[in-house]
Amino acid sequence: MDKVSEGFKSAASAAVPGQRGFDYLIVGAGFAGSVLAERLASELNQRVLIVDKRPHIGGNAYDRYDDHGILIHPYGPHIFHTNSADIFDYLSRFTEWRPYQHRVLASVDGQMVPMPINLDTVNKLYGLNLTAFELEKFFESVAEKKEQIRTSEDVVVSKVGRDLYNKFFRGYTRKQWAMDPSELDASVTARVPTRTNRDDRYFADTFQAMPLHGYTRMFERMLAHPNIKVMLNTDYREMVELVPWKHMVYTGPIDAFFNHKHGKLPYRSLEFKHQTFRQEQFQPVGTVNYPNDYGYTRISEFKHITGQEHPCTSVVYEFPQAEGDPYYPVPRPENAQLYRKYEAEAEQMENVTFVGRLATYKYYNMDQVVGQALATFKRLAQRHQAGAE
């Protein structure tokens, strides 16, 4: 047993149930940690301590008002979308919503065209006047046949051919991941669909909306339970052996939990450059992608996304980088293989449960993390029940 696990064992055995200490120590106050804290406290009456090393709750979905009074997302634009009524209903207990359909333009060949690629994208880019039916034929004529769709390159060239792939995906992906699309799993570019109609929404999900008063307010309401204590500015390693607890929910990077004993899992990071302009609007839509120029991948303007009215406007530029906070797991076979080593270790740990984008090394959207946390809660509740019987 390594030092960390030893520490866990002694801390856990020091707990006196029902008298002092906590039933659950939750590491990370993002979606994964906050959903579990809320469920465990309000459904099972568990005493929960949720700890985050950052100075705020909400994880990467945290939002705040900047110095100009504009609501921004410090960790990049977060747009809520889901096909799950259950997940939407669950979050609706903690927030009202503002309907919002995200739209994205790509800056390609000196023009701003809709992304995902649709009928208007192709017509504008090539100066054509195709119908949806003709576009389907066009795609068929340029698509490269693939035996097997294995990589992120395969996904795109097998649908829209090499030229559109080069214009919209190759440069953006190389910038975002420092890797050619041929080296990344198909699932990465498969996140972006191709359309033959004129639908220019970035997402097609049934529920698309933003928390009316922001994400942070929603998290505050989730965590506002007398059984939940929040500890910020604290790496869990600083307190894990000081405060008694019985079970841990861990939502940070899984390889860091095990002191990188099998080697580092690659995560892609970003540098966010925030800027405010003394003008009402900066760009026509929420996000403009720059697949082929500049060091940044995209610029997002928050007022489009939040619906806020203000004489100034704030935007964020995203510069991909290798070092820094881990934002994206990197989906490719060798990384999945390394993750499985950590997963096997995680499964051996009786008193720690791993949940969330970093702890399960999955390129999950917010709704998927909420779904994963709710499913995890069900499992923990069953265990709880079995223990009580």
Residues that bind ligand UDP in the complex, under the rule CB under 6 A = 106, 115, 168-169, 172-173, 176, 188-189, 191-192, 289, 291
Amino acid at position 192, single letter:
V
Would you state the structure tokens that stand for residue 56, as one six-digit string? 């705020």
> How many alpha carbons fall within 13 Å on the CB side of residue 327?
22
Amino acid at position 130, single letter:
L
Residue 228 to residue 41: CA distance in whole angstroms: 7
Say if CB 23 and CB 363 are below 8 A apart.
no
- If one asks whether residue 339 binds ligand FAD (CB under 6 A), the answer comes out as no
Q: What are phi and psi of 98, to 5 degrees?
A: -120, 115
> Quick one: what does residue 207 bind among ligand UDP, ligand FAD, none, with the CB cut-off 5 to 8 Å set by partner type?
none
Cβ at position 30, least distance to ligand UDP in Å: 15
How many angstroms from the chain centroid is the CA of residue 194? 22
Options 30-38, 107-115, 143-151, 291-299: segment touching ligand FAD (CB under 6 A): 30-38
Q: Identify the CA nearest to 222 among candidates 17, 34, 25, 66.
A: 34
- If one asks whether residue 267 binds ligand FAD (CB under 6 A), the answer comes out as no
Residue closer to ligand UDP, measured from CB, 39 or 167: 167
String marking each residue 303-332 x if it binds ligand FAD according to CB under 6 A: ------------------------x-----
Residue 225 to residue 40: CA distance in whole angstroms: 10
> Quick one: what does residue 49 bind among ligand UDP, ligand FAD, none, with the CB cut-off 5 to 8 Å set by partner type?
none
Q: Which residues in 61-120 contact ligand FAD (CB under 6 A)?
A: 61, 75-79
Q: What are phi and psi of 133, to 5 degrees?
A: -65, -45
Residue closer to ligand FAD, measured from CB, 139 or 317: 317
CB atoms within 10 A of CB 373: 25
Residue closer to ligand UDP, measured from CB, 189 or 313: 189
Q: Which residues in 367-386 contact ligand FAD (CB under 6 A)?
A: 367, 369
Amino acid at position 350, single letter:
E
> Quick one: what does residue 172 bind among ligand UDP, ligand FAD, none, with the CB cut-off 5 to 8 Å set by partner type?
ligand UDP
Residue 135 to residue 196: CA distance in whole angstroms: 6
Cβ at position 80, least distance to ligand FAD in Å: 6
- If one asks whether residue 244 binds ligand FAD (CB under 6 A), the answer comes out as no
Cβ at position 81, least distance to ligand UDP in Å: 11
> Quick one: what does residue 288 bind among ligand UDP, ligand FAD, none, with the CB cut-off 5 to 8 Å set by partner type?
none
Say if CB 295 and CB 101 are below 8 A apart.
no
Q: Identify the CA nearest to 223 among candidates 22, 58, 53, 27.
A: 58
Cβ at position 321, least distance to ligand FAD in Å: 12
Amino acid at position 231, single letter:
M
CA dihedral 302, 304, 308, 314 (to 10 degrees): 30
- If one asks whether residue 235 binds ligand FAD (CB under 6 A), the answer comes out as yes
- If one asks whether residue 207 binds ligand FAD (CB under 6 A), the answer comes out as no
> Quick one: what does residue 366 bind among ligand UDP, ligand FAD, none, with the CB cut-off 5 to 8 Å set by partner type?
ligand FAD
- If one asks whether residue 286 binds ligand FAD (CB under 6 A), the answer comes out as no
Residue closer to ligand FAD, measured from CB, 63 or 367: 367
Say if CB 100 and CB 208 are below 8 A apart.
yes
Listing DSSP states for 308-322 in one string gives ---SSEEEEEEEEES
Options 129-137, 150-158, 218-226, 353-361: segment touching ligand FAD (CB under 6 A): 353-361
Q: Which one of residues 11, 32, 160, 210 is an interface residue with ligand FAD (CB under 6 A)?
A: 32
Q: What are phi and psi of 79, to 5 degrees?
A: -115, 125
Residue 182 to residue 174: CA distance in whole angstroms: 10
Residue closer to ligand FAD, measured from CB, 21 or 28: 28
Contact residues for ligand FAD, defined by CB under 6 A? 27-33, 51-54, 59-61, 75-79, 235-236, 251-252, 270, 327, 356-358, 364-367, 369
